Amino acid sequence: MLERQQLVRLLRQVPLLHGLGPNDLSGVAAAAQCREIERRRFFFRQGTIADAVYVLNRGRVKLTQSTPKQAHVLLRFIAPGEMFDLTSLDGQPYTLSAEATRWSQAVVWKVPTMIALMERYPSIAVNALREMAARLQELRERYRELATERVERRVAHALIRLAREAGWRRESGFSLVDIPLSRQDLAEMTGTTLYTVSRILAGWRRDGIIESGRQRLAILQPSAVQAIAEDLPGATSGDEKPKT
């Protein structure tokens, strides 16, 4: 658990609370609770009542949605400082689950508390809007991809996003060390199957574009991945497409 002072210092880094002065922050901190959970445990699960707003402090969280018949979709990862996607302010159930991919710590406000804080410090609400707008934007983009692009390109896009959000720059390219990322995960991010993902990655590995192992992945040639994601020349997947 955290001391008040420590908590305030942390909250200063949180985009949701940008623009608040030290006194304000202290008030906001006073209304917060703190939760820590182990790897593979859930901050909340789809179906339970959405009664709180979460901001991740340390660790890494995976937001997923699942269907009655056990098909899962991986929506996004949350990095420290980010707010978990909020689903409802009206006591509806969560429509997604938040699972820690490793030990994680989050700051939590009850929904009515947070609404009161927003009424008192409107810039919190505006910050939240910004963050929601950005999420909506990204999801729309992925939706369009899913509707219009083939699998290989979607996987390439997924890697680019992951590298941006959680990639460590190395001598050559990026490695995605922060997140244990299985083929299954990638499949659930891109709307395909683990088999197809495995085949695609195998191809890229043969071409020296990536390096990959069990739950690990490194991008050796970011530009090549980019080329596959867009429709640039230099895409390697076998057939060249001669422009007429």
* x/- map, 127-166, DNA, by CB under 7 A: -----------------------xxx--------------
- State the sign of the Cα–Cα–Cα–Cα dihedral 106, 111, 113, 119: positive
From the number of C-beta atoms within 10 Å of its C-beta (0-12, 13-18, 19+), residue 182 rates as middle
| H or E element, residue 23 | helix 22-30
Return the one option of DNA, a second copy, none that residue 69 interacts with (CB less than 5 to 8 A, by type). a second copy
Q: What is the dihedral of CA 140, 95, 111, 123, to 10 degrees?
A: -10
Nearer to a second copy, 96 or 163 (CB): 96
Cβ(215)–Cβ(175) below 8 Å: no
Give residues 185-214 in contact with DNA (rule: CB under 7 A).
191-196, 198-199, 201-202, 205, 212-214
Return the one option of a second copy, DNA, none that residue 202 interacts with (CB less than 5 to 8 A, by type). DNA
Q: How many CB atoms lie within 10 A of CB 197?
A: 24
What is the size of the binding site for DNA (CB under 7 A)?
21
Cβ(54)–Cβ(86) below 8 Å: no
Give residues 73-102 in contact with a second copy (rule: CB under 8 A).
73, 75, 85-90, 95-96
The phi, psi pair for 187, rounded to 5°, reads: -65, -40
Return the one option of a second copy, DNA, none that residue 73 interacts with (CB less than 5 to 8 A, by type). a second copy
Member of 87, 123, 182, 221 binding DNA (CB under 7 A) = 182
Cβ(220)–Cβ(209) below 8 Å: yes
The total number of residues shown for the chain amounts to 244
3-state secondary structure of 237: coil
Nearer to a second copy, 231 or 240 (CB): 231
Nearer to a second copy, 104 or 127 (CB): 127
Nearer to DNA, 110 or 216 (CB): 216
Least distance between a second copy and beta carbon 81 (Å): 18
State the Cα–Cα distance between residues 235 and 221, nearest whole angstrom: 12
State the Cα–Cα distance between residues 56 and 198, nearest whole angstrom: 31
Residues that bind a second copy (CB under 8 A): 65, 67, 69, 71, 73, 75, 85-90, 95-96, 115, 118-120, 122-123, 125-126, 128-130, 132-133, 135-137, 139-144, 146-148, 188, 190-191, 231
Q: Which residues bind DNA (CB under 7 A)?
A: 150-152, 182-184, 191-196, 198-199, 201-202, 205, 212-215
